[in-house]
Amino acid sequence: MATNEQRELVERAHEICEKEMSFEKVKELEAVNGGVGGYPWEIHHKLAKAGFYSMNVPKELGGQGFNFVTRGLVMEAISSYDLGFAFSFRGLGEKFPSVLNSHIPQAEKDNWIKRQLTEYIGGVFCLTEPNAGSDAKMIETTAYKDGDEWVINGTKSMITNGGIGEYYTIFAWTDKTVSAGKGITAFLVYKDTPGFTVTEPEQYMGMKLANITGLKLENVRVPNERIIGVEGRAFATAMGTLEAVRPYNVCFTVGAAQRAVDIATEFANKRKTFGKYIIDHQGVGFQLAELQMKVDAARAMGYYALEAADRGIPLGHIGSATKGMGIKLCVEVANDVLELMGGYGYSKDYMVEKIIRDIRGYAIAGGTYNIMKEVVCRSMKVK
């Protein structure tokens, strides 16, 4: 059950988004850059100033220090207006551990945190490559030692917030004679580093308010202090990061799926066929009820996992199970809402077709449904 503070935060998030992210406004934002879309910095700053940015920065560092459940509730609210923006906004604000876990001087760390909390800059997680998606250990980016510096070369793809983030967590092979668990290192790379280039934004069917690009690293030099964590041990950290955010991502899709059900419910209470409102036809009414049940089930799965994470309970395969099944339910809901509304659901005059375009991206990002099943299956095998 949400606390009074959590309810107030959710209400405030809705108030801002209701004013700043109307459906018509979002359609305008999707149409910029020739239909590629663009990240809405004005909305970013308004939500940030209201306290919804860097929500996981500890209070002792000047942040909000929100736990997983609270952050999930806030992002569910924002996602009901636009999934792409919510994805980018959350991503930019929650990468500060890369700075803290690097070996740069404390004064430099303090400066980054100050800028994140006052200028609302953010960080970017860079693992995926053209030939390394689900099988992340197949990355080809490399880094070799040259005196007190590392020289990084490689290409990253499908990077959320490429170009708009200020610091980047780059995963690269530093020793290919050993396994990924011992040979992949993470580096903190600043946006203005020579040789670091952001490529053109990716053109996707949805998620148009997320800024997703590729990256090129050509002889990018970083000092040894920019290693994040322990040299050669970044692969486990990357996998752990993905596992931790998987149930969190369900909250995003729940927000969008609930919005779709709300749109369909309003539609069914206004449209008449054969002399009565279509919600009064049992076939429609029961379908709406089932859709709401699916959203509630996905929501329960997501917050169960987040509550466990907040209590320090190891998730094991639960993160992947929640991401896989929770988002699958939400995708089904969006598709069924479109079917229920017929031509109106297919029309760009309603938000449903946009929700479907966006929600499909979440079914892929962070691991597809089949990959989630693979993770769960591995946990079931006798060791």
Of 350, 354, 248, which Cα lies nearest the Cα of 304? Answer: 248
Determine phi and psi for 28, rounding to 5 degrees.
-65, -40
Together in a domain, 248 and 229: no
Residue of 179, 134, 144, 171 lying closest to 155 (CA atoms): 171
DSSP label at residue 50: I
Looking at residue 145, its pLDDT comes to 96
Which stretch of DSSP H or E encloses residue 154?
strand 149-160
Q: Are residues 173 and 252 in the same domain?
A: no
- CATH number of the domain residue 162 falls in: 2.40.110.10
Shared domain check, 128 and 108: no
Q: Residue 244 above 80 pLDDT?
A: no
383 pLDDT exceeds 80? no
**pTM, whole model, 2 decimals?**
0.94
Closest to 21 (Cα-Cα) out of 7, 42, 6, 4: 42
pLDDT digits (tens, 9 = 90+) for 324-377: 999 999 999 999 999 999 999 999 999 999 999 999 999 998 889 999 999 999
Model confidence at 1: pLDDT above 80: no
- How many alpha carbons fall within 13 Å on the CB side of residue 124? 27
Out of 187, 204, 233, a domain closes at: 233
Both 47 and 143 in a single domain?
A: no
Q: Give the C-alpha separation, 138 to 130, whole Å.
A: 10
CA 5 to chain centre: 24
> What is the model's pLDDT at position 138?
92
Domain range for 147 is 123-233
91 and 145 co-located in one domain: no
The pLDDT-based confidence of 242 (bands split at 50, 70, 90) is confident
Q: Which of 84, 100, 118 is the last residue of a domain?
A: 118
Express the helix, strand and coil content of the chain in percent, nearest 5 each: 55, 15, 30
Instruction: Give percent of the chain with pLDDT exceeding 70.
Output: 99
Closest C-alpha to 248, from 11, 70, 49, 2: 70
The domain that holds 20 is classified in CATH as: 1.10.540.10
The reply to whether 154 and 112 lie within a common domain is: no
Closest Cα to residue 173, out of 145, 133, 135?
145
Whole-number pLDDT of residue 120: 95
Q: Does one domain contain both 16 and 97?
A: yes
What is the chain's Cα-based Rg?
A: 21
d(CA 23, CA 273): 27
C-beta of residue 278 within 8 angstroms of C-beta of residue 101: no
Pairing of strands 227-228, 196-198: unpaired
Q: Indicate if 226 and 104 belong to the same structural domain.
A: no
Number of compact structural domains in the chain = 3
127-163 confidence digits (pLDDT tens): 999 998 888 889 999 999 999 999 999 999 999 999 9
Distances (CA, A) of 118 to 20, 51, 62, 168: 21, 11, 10, 19
Among 58, 93, 118, the domain-final residue is 118
With 90 as the cut, is the pLDDT of residue 173 above it? yes
Residues 224 and 245 in one domain: no
Comparing 16-20, 242-246, 333-337, 360-364, the range with the smallest average pLDDT is: 242-246
CA 1 to chain centre: 24
Q: What is the pLDDT of residues 52-102, one digit of tens each?
A: 998 999 999 999 999 999 999 999 999 999 999 999 999 999 999 999 999
Q: Are residues 287 and 360 in the same domain?
A: yes
Taking residues 308-329, what's their average pLDDT?
A: 92
- 253-269 pLDDT per residue, tens: 999 999 999 999 999 99
* Main-chain phi, psi angles of 359, to 5 degrees: -65, -25
Termini Cα distance of the chain = 38
Distance CA 189, CA 171 (A): 10
